[in-house]
Amino acid sequence: MTAYLDTSVVVPLFLDDDHSPKARAWANAGRHVALSAWTVTEFSSALSHQVRMDRITASERVGLERVFDGWVGKGRMIDFKADRFNEARRLLQRHARLRAPDALHLAIARHEGLPLATLDDDMREAAVFEGMEVIEL
């Protein structure tokens, strides 16, 4: 089964944090993953934040981007249309704790009929409320 990965799952695959062990264990079990250009954009943003916070160097970032790009090529890249932004807005109107980037992920995964893998509690709650399948990591 292919799952759509939220950035909260992708980042710990490449940067060590408290979620890395469970995210890596899940990914290393031979899972098929789907991502969108939004996931890729958010990943690069997360790396930029790490550089600004002096947690990684600019050189480390370049290396992580390279490894990430190779990994992305093994998964399914979902192309989405502007309609997903309208759907994300509707989700934001229904879920007060949902953030715009997460609403877009939800809209993309739901439109594709894919289960969602996320480590974000608010996003998980909204997805369950919307009747989406959520992968437990």
Question: Which CATH number is 82's domain given?
Answer: 3.40.50.1010
Backbone φ and ψ for 77, nearest 5 degrees, come out as -100, 120
Helix axes 20-27, 7-14, angle to 10 degrees: 100
- As for how many domains the chain has, the answer is 1
Helix axes 121-129, 100-112, angle to 10 degrees: 40
Tens of pLDDT along the chain (137 residues) come to 899 999 999 999 999 999 999 999 988 888 899 999 999 999 999 999 999 999 999 999 999 999 999 999 999 999 999 999 999 999 999 999 999 999 999 999 999 999 999 999 999 999 999 999 999 88
State pTM to two decimals.
0.92
pLDDT of residue 30: 80
Which range marks the domain in which residue 127 is found? 2-135
pLDDT of residue 112: 96
